[in-house]
Amino acid sequence: MTRDGALALGEAVGERLERRALAVLGVATALVLAVLFYYPVLTVFADALRTGGEWTLGVVRAVFTDPFYFGVLAPLFEGDLAGVGEVAESTPLGLFGFTAYQAALSTVASVLLGLPGAYVLSRYEFPGRRTIRSLTIVPFVLPSIMVAIGFYAFFGTNGLFNDLLAVLGIGRVTVLGTLEAIVVAHAFYNAPLVARVTTAAWESVDARTVETARSLGANPYRAFVDVLAPQLLPAVLTGALLTFVFTFMSFPIVLALGGFELATVEVWIYALVQQLDYAEAATLAVVETAISLGLTYAYLRYEARQAGGRAANPPARKRLLPDDFSPFAALERAGVVAYALVVAVVFLGPLLSMVTESLTGPQGFTLRYYEFLVERQATGADFQTKPGVAVRNSLLFGAATLLVALPMGVTISVLTTRGRRGSKLADAAAMAPLAVSGVVVGLGMLRGLVFGVELWGHRIQVAGTSAIVAAHAVAAYPFVVRNVSPLLASVDRSMVESARALGATRVRALLDVELPLVASGVAAGAAFAFAISIGEFDSTVILATGSSSYTMPVAVERYIGNRTLGPATAMGTVLLAVTSLSFVVIDRLGGRWEA
Amino acid sequence: MDRRTFLKSGAAGGLLGLAGCLGSDDAGQQDTTEETAETATTEETTTEGTETTAEETDEETTEADEGLSGTLTVATYGSFVDAPSSAPGPWLKETFEERHPDVTVEWATPDNEMNYYIQRAQQGVDIDADLYVGINVDHLIRIDEQLGDGGLFASSVDALEHYDHVEDDLKFDPQQRAVPYDTGYISLVYDGTEVEDPETFDALTTDEYAGDLIVQNAQSAATGRAFLLWTIHNRGEENYLDYWEQLVDNDVRILGSWDDAYTAWDEGEAPMVVSYSTDQVYANREGADLDEHQVSFLDGQGYANPEGMARFADAPNPELAEAFMDFVLSAEAQGEIAMRNVQFPATDWAELSEEFEEYAKVPDDPVTFTYEELQGNVDEWVDTWARQIAGK
């Protein structure tokens, strides 16, 4: 074969591969999901309907008609209208009602706290803006025990916050055991998420639409409400949806900061799993998942209706010090300063308190917890957890997760945004990893993959590094999808069609036309994917059993000692430092691609 | 240097050298290992024998071990091997391997702890471990419920030389599978600079102690469960829910785990927390103010929570497992475990430090429920309690 012939053949093969690439990626994604998500989770869910080797609806019926779980709905499910009054007096909400209630409060708090952040980050130019934007994701990766320590140390009875209130003459507040504590802690985790998703959308709005509205005589307020807000709403709702789903499934924060009186459904599922009571746990998990998925589906239908053709063309950012001092501009800056103060209290307070804890022993300042980390790294035995290994693993898994989750997420976005009837259902199914709790996924993985599956007399086991990365990718790609899909849906279709008409393959059109337009979403998704991998705990700890593939959060948990959290907080500070640095790097790299 | 130390270090040094050469051995070189093991036997017998005499246990110096070799897999909970500064695991591994140079101890610390092995057994997967360290009576009840009577573990007591030293009232397994190796007394720990010793269960429901107590969730925390059982023991099965209603009315805080609760207490969220009566041992070691670490035995009681170890029924190396269990019951190991795990020994001959003797407090009236009393009851007690607390 001549050189030219070989080249031509290569090109032909390349073209065919490219043409098939989307399909191949789609199938690969579906396979990974089936093996690492659907199979394990369905094994657990099957327990809801199977007791003692028989299929039965008994447990399901018992759960639905139990006022403890469903409050006033329980007698209704049973068709017993007379029972409603009695239940309304004792347990009106039930566990599900209360869980939804606290999740709704947490969502409102997160959105209220997150939106001004998105506004400041996307509309103002100031030194360190990009760094702060990168760091918005950091709270997301902190283990709950660290957040609890930070909260007690800062907001607690003897904490700095209360000292400040006392100095101001406002009086002290009780944090422990209150719904407020849970809501604020949830906002600590999720407001940055809302801010980040919304910032990504704000940075890709079409400013010309606002200019047009203004030139047609709309005042800035009207232009915002009628033109800009509809462009931002899908992103805000994405943030709200994710927050609701997360806080609906919350349990470590509830138990550490609120107390058992405020137990959620997930607290109950966890306890039932501990008691190996799978049937009831699985039933609760199915209901919990159905609610989350139902919400996701409703949101996806809404999102699909929002899609309209526009191109990213963000407005210029304002300077923090205005060029001319109008009363409105001054008021706005005062608002920004007030918001910065709130951020300092809610986010910096607990984080700095956590770091302070790592430097304080019973007799004041100490470096011995860090000395412990160094010593453990230098002389620790094989079966002990070494901080250096944890850092290395976290970064490696994070990077590998990015490589797997980004293509998976973009593929699903492309396949579902341009889909036909039923694509919203498929989209919801692809979003399922978000809606299933860590306890259930962890249990399913244990029973399905770690113990192995008997196939033709051989036990097939999946565990180890690649399984961890795959599990992280499964947990992470929905974030890529949710960050990319809304932007992708709003890309002007005619641009893609023109490219295709000019001979570009589907993949070419995606790479050259669509992706650059949704780059801010892809970058936001990438940061989330990395964050999910760094922060993931349940499946990592199960898949890492008996190996050296533990990560930073796992190390934090393992360093919690008998009566001492010193080494754990030191490791938590390392986690904080490493992840902060990584997010700045990721965002800078992502930013280069964006520009 | 006395004879015992000399012999021990000399022999151990020589044997460690050998073990070092064999460190990378795998299955393919099994024969060499066994040969070496035989050569080592004589020396080792002397070491073991001398040790036994020195510890004045019995005069049976002739009973040599059969040159144990192989890999022993010990399953346990994570903080037993990996908790900073307080884990007894590393010492146990090192010392046992010194005494049995051809043995390698490997730890298995699955995140789901005992549940991991129950689930494995349910799924028909091999257990892959020889013994479990860290069993309590709840585990046994769960195992027997889930896997049928006598499942998962087998009794080893006949093979244990030191079993006679285990305190009788700590033996919590009627089938003698689990052998106690340490115990804790659940009590209150309070900050003496903030509150007075409440002294009684009744006092906890008075205005004086409103909002002052942090306890743990009985569903998920061992200490929380022990405290709940203690209230049932104290108030009776009929009255404990009423008592808890009074506690909740008096603003008791129920947090998720012992760590959550102890952290909150340490941060001054409330002056009293449910914890262990050995609290001062650790506090003293850390140089904390002991006035802030006072122990209260309500009604003179403390709820005993012994921890045990047991050999898996189909352990790959039953003899090794039993040798290890005997070692854990030895006077020296008993003292080390007690001090490192900050718990009381389960035997009558532990070598304890003065510090431990001084700061570890024992209740006048240790109480606990037996296996028989708990079986068939404990799930319902905990479940009813949990529903009362969490009902909305």
Decide which of B164 and A434 is more confident.
B164
Written as one letter, the residue type at A492 is D
Query: E-strand spans in chain B?
Result: 70-76, 103-108, 131-135, 153-154, 179-190, 213-216, 253-255, 272-276, 294-296, 301-312, 344-345, 365-367
What distance in Å separates the CA atoms of residue B227 and residue B253, rounded to the nearest whole number? 13
pLDDT exceeding 70 applies to what percent of chain B? 82
The per-type count for chain B, helices as H runs and strands as E runs, is 15, 12
CB atoms within 10 A of CB A428: 21
CB atoms within 10 A of CB A360: 15
What distance in Å separates the CA atoms of residue A499 and residue B60, rounded to the nearest whole number? 91
Q: In this complex, do A91 and B256 lie within 8 Å of one another by their Cβ atoms?
A: no
Q: Answer for the pair B337, B345: CB distance below 8 angstroms, yes or no.
A: yes
Q: Is the pLDDT of residue A576 over 80?
A: yes
Closest-CA distance of chain B to residue A447, Å: 8
What distance in Å separates the CA atoms of residue A194 and residue A238, rounded to the nearest whole number? 8
Q: In this complex, do A561 and B85 lie within 8 Å of one another by their Cβ atoms?
A: yes
Q: Which residues of B touch A372 (CB under 8 A)?
A: 84-85
User: Which pLDDT band, with edges at 50, 70 and 90, does A74 fall under?
Assistant: confident
What distance in Å separates the CA atoms of residue B29 and residue B31, rounded to the nearest whole number? 6
Q: Which residues of B touch A560 (CB under 8 A)?
A: 79, 83, 259
Half-sphere exposure of A321 (CA within 13 A, CB side): 1
Q: In this complex, do B90 and A561 lie within 8 Å of one another by their Cβ atoms?
A: no
What distance in Å separates the CA atoms of residue B368 and residue B302, rounded to the nearest whole number? 8
What distance in Å separates the CA atoms of residue A499 and residue B146, rounded to the nearest whole number? 63
Q: A278-306 and A39-49 are packed helices; what angle lies between their axes, rounded to 10 degrees? A: 120
Q: In this complex, do B219 and A259 lie within 8 Å of one another by their Cβ atoms?
A: no
Q: In this complex, do B125 and A452 lie within 8 Å of one another by their Cβ atoms?
A: yes
Q: Which residues of B touch A157 (CB under 8 A)?
A: 267-269
Q: Can you give the pLDDT at residue B181?
A: 97
Alpha helix (H) residue ranges in B69-174: 78-82, 89-99, 113-123, 137-147
DSSP category for residue A446:
I
Query: E-strand spans in A193-297?
Result: none
Lowest-pLDDT choice from A177-181, B13-17, B129-133, B134-138? B13-17
Q: In this complex, do A545 and B289 lie within 8 Å of one another by their Cβ atoms?
A: no
Q: Can you give the pLDDT at residue B53?
A: 40
Lowest-pLDDT choice from A138-152, A435-449, B164-178, B289-303? A435-449
Decide which of A428 and A405 is more confident.
A405
- Supply A9's token pair: 């053949």
Mean pLDDT of A253-257: 90
Q: What ipTM did this prediction achieve? A: 0.87
Burial class (CB in 10 A: 0-12, 13-18, 19+), A33: buried
Q: In this complex, do A451 and B85 lie within 8 Å of one another by their Cβ atoms?
A: no
- For an interface test with B, give the residue of A257, A563, A569, A571 to mutate (most B CBs within 10 A): A563
The pairing of beta strand B179-190 with beta strand B301-312: antiparallel
Q: In this complex, do A91 and B142 lie within 8 Å of one another by their Cβ atoms?
A: no
User: Which pLDDT band, with edges at 50, 70 and 90, does B46 fall under?
Assistant: very low
What distance in Å separates the CA atoms of residue B306 and residue B278, rounded to the nearest whole number? 14
Q: Answer for the pair B103, B72: CB distance below 8 angstroms, yes or no.
A: yes
* Chain B nearest-CA residue for A154: B267
Give Rg (Cα) of chain A.
Answer: 25
* Chain A nearest-CA residue for B219: A271
Report the C-alpha dihedral over residues A273, A278, A279, A280, rounded to 10 degrees: 0
Q: Is the pLDDT of residue A507 over 80?
A: no
User: Which pLDDT band, with edges at 50, 70 and 90, does A330 fall under?
Assistant: confident
* Chain A nearest-CA residue for B224: A260
pLDDT digits (tens, 9 = 90+) for A278-313: 888 999 999 999 999 999 888 888 877 775 555 567
Q: Which residues of B touch A459 (CB under 8 A)?
A: 125
Q: Is the pLDDT of residue A502 over 80?
A: yes
B192-B197-B199 Cα angle (round to 5)? 165
Mean pLDDT of A184-192: 94
pLDDT exceeding 90 applies to what percent of chain A? 28
Q: Can you give the pLDDT at residue A19?
A: 63
Lowest-pLDDT choice from A306-310, A343-347, A437-441, B307-311? A306-310
Q: Answer for the pair A549, A393: CB distance below 8 angstroms, yes or no.
A: yes
Closest-CA distance of chain A to residue B275, Å: 10
- For an interface test with B, give the residue of A70, A90, A260, A537 to mutate (most B CBs within 10 A): A260
Q: Which residues of B touch A255 (CB under 8 A)?
A: 217, 220, 255-257, 260
Q: Answer for the pair B129, B71: CB distance below 8 angstroms, yes or no.
A: no
User: b/e map of B288-317 (b: 16 or more CB within 10 Å)?
Assistant: beeebbbbbbbbebbbbbbbbbbbbeebbb
Q: Answer for the pair A408, A473: CB distance below 8 angstroms, yes or no.
A: yes
- Supply B189's token pair: 């720990």
Q: Answer for the pair A534, A398: CB distance below 8 angstroms, yes or no.
A: yes
Q: Which residues are CB-contacts of B208 (< 8 A; sequence separation ≥ 6)?
A: none
Q: Which residues of A touch B81 (CB under 8 A)?
A: 383-384
What distance in Å separates the CA atoms of residue A147 and residue A189, rounded to the nearest whole number? 9
Q: Which residues pair with B179 in a beta bridge?
A: B309
Q: In this complex, do A260 and B254 lie within 8 Å of one another by their Cβ atoms?
A: yes
End-to-end CA distance of chain A: 43
Q: Is the pLDDT of residue A198 over 60?
A: yes
Could you say which of A95, A447, A565 has the minimum Cβ distance to residue B119?
Answer: A447
Q: Which residues of A touch B287 (CB under 8 A)?
A: 361-363
Q: In this complex, do B79 and A97 lie within 8 Å of one another by their Cβ atoms?
A: no
Q: Can you give the pLDDT at residue A240?
A: 95
Q: Can you give the pLDDT at residue B130?
A: 97
Closest-CA distance of chain A to residue B278, Å: 11
* Chain B nearest-CA residue for A366: B286
Written as one letter, the residue type at A327 is P
A179-A184-A189 Cα angle (round to 5)? 125
Written as one letter, the residue type at B13 is G
Q: Which residues are CB-contacts of A526 (< 8 A; sequence separation ≥ 6)?
A: A402, A406, A480, A586, A590
Q: Can you give the pLDDT at residue A268?
A: 94
- Supply A479's token pair: 């974030």
User: Which pLDDT band, with edges at 50, 70 and 90, does A134 fall under?
Assistant: confident
Q: Which residues of A touch B120 (CB under 8 A)?
A: 451
Closest-CA distance of chain A to residue B295, Å: 15
- CA B300 distance to own-chain centroid: 23
* Run of H or E including A448: none
Lowest-pLDDT choice from A101-115, A231-245, A442-456? A442-456
Q: In this complex, do B264 and A176 lie within 8 Å of one another by their Cβ atoms?
A: yes
* Chain A nearest-CA residue for B379: A275
CB pairs A-B closer than 8 Å: 175
pTM: 0.86
